[in-house]
A and B are shown apart, each in its own frame.
Chain A
Amino acid sequence: METQDILAACRPSARQQALRRAKNRVLACVMGMSAVVVMLPLFLVLYFLIKEGASSIDFHFFTQLPKPAGEVGGGMANGIVGSLVLLAMAAALGVPIGVMGGVYLAEYGSDRANTLVRFLADVLNGVPSIVWGMVVYAMLVVPFKTFSAYAGGVALGLMMIPLVMRTTEEVLLLVPQSYREAGLALGIARWKIITVIVIKTALKGIITGILVALARVAGETAPLLFTALGNNFWSHNLSQPIAALPLQIFQYSISPYDDWHRQAWAGALVLMLLILGINLFVRLLSRDKSAS
Chain B
Amino acid sequence: MPDISFRWLAMLAALTILGLVALVGWELYSGAQQAVRQFGPGFLVRSTWNPVSDVYGALPFIYGTLVSSLIALVIAVPLGVATALFLTEMAPMRIRQPVITVIEMLAAVPSVIFGLWGIFVLIPWLRDHLYSWLKDYFGYLPIFGGPVYGVGMLTGGIIVAIMILPIITSVSREILRSVPDLQREAAYALGATHWEVIRIAVLSYARRGIFGAAVLGLGRALGETMAVTMVIGNRPQIAASLFAPAYTVASVIANEFTEATTDMYLSALFELGLVLLGLTILVNIVAQLMLRALTGGASGRT
The answer on A and B forming one complex is yes
* Residue ranges of A at the interface with B (Cβ–Cβ < 8 Å): 20-21, 23-24, 27-28, 30-32, 34-35, 37-39, 41-45, 48-49, 52, 96-101, 103-105, 107-109, 117-135, 137-139, 158, 161-162, 165-166, 170, 189-191, 194-195, 215-216, 218-222, 225-226, 229, 246, 249-250, 253-254, 261, 264-265, 268, 271-272, 275-276, 279
| B155 part of interface (Cβ distance < 8 Å) | no
Min distance, Cβ A34 to any Cβ of chain B, angstroms: 4
Bound-state Cα–Cα, A182 to B15, Å? 30
Which residue of A is nearest B277, CB measured? A131
Known: A104-B10, A165-B13, A219-B108. 18 other contacts (CB 8 A): A21-B193, A27-B195, A35-B82, A100-B14, A108-B10, A126-B281, A128-B277, A130-B276, A131-B223, A133-B257, A135-B24, A218-B110, A222-B254, A249-B116, A253-B120, A264-B116, A268-B113, A272-B110
| Residue pair B99, A39 in contact (C-beta under 8 Å) | yes
Q: Within 8 Å CB of A101, what residues of B?
A: 10, 13-14, 16-17
| B250 part of interface (Cβ distance < 8 Å) | yes
A-B contact pairs, 24 of them (CB 8 A): A24-B194, A24-B196, A32-B86, A34-B86, A38-B83, A42-B105, A43-B102, A48-B121, A97-B13, A97-B16, A100-B13, A101-B16, A103-B13, A122-B288, A122-B301, A123-B284, A138-B27, A161-B17, A162-B20, A165-B14, A170-B299, A189-B3, A221-B225, A265-B116
Q: Within 8 Å CB of B117, what residues of A?
A: 44-45, 48-49
Contacts A131-B276, A261-B120 given; does A35 touch B112 at CB 8 Å: no
Contacts A37-B79, A96-B13, A222-B250 given; does A52 touch B86 at CB 8 Å: no
The one of A27, A41, A132 that contacts B106, using a Cβ cutoff of 8 Å:
A41
Q: Total contacts A to B, CB within 8 angstroms? A: 264
* Residue ranges of B at the interface with A (Cβ–Cβ < 8 Å): 2-3, 6-7, 9-18, 20-21, 23-24, 27-28, 30-31, 78-80, 82-83, 85-87, 89-91, 99, 102-106, 108-117, 119-121, 162, 165, 169, 193-196, 219-220, 222-226, 230, 250, 253-254, 257-258, 269-270, 273, 276-277, 280-281, 284-285, 288, 299-302
